[in-house]
Amino acid sequence: MDKISKFIKKIDPKDASKIADVLERLSDNDLKNLDIKKLKGSKDIFRVRFDKYRIIYTNDGDIKILEISQRDENTYKNY
17 belongs to a structural domain: yes
CB under 8 Å to 46, separation ≥6 — which residues?
A: 36, 37, 38, 39, 56, 57, 58, 59
Kindly report the CATH number assigned to the domain that includes residue 27. 3.30.2310.20
Domain range for 65 is 3-70
Number of domains in the chain: 1
- The answer to whether residue 78 scores a pLDDT higher than 80 is no
Q: Looking at the domain assignment, is residue 77 inside a domain?
A: no
> Considering the domain boundaries, does residue 79 fall inside one?
no
Residue 78 placed within a domain: no
What are the tens digits of pLDDT across the range 64-73? 999 998 888 8
Q: Average of pLDDT values for 53-67? A: 89
Quote the pTM value.
Answer: 0.84
The residue ranking higher by pLDDT, 5 or 61, is: 5
Position 28 in a domain: yes
Q: Do the domain assignments include residue 75?
A: no
Tell me: pLDDT of 1 over 80.
no
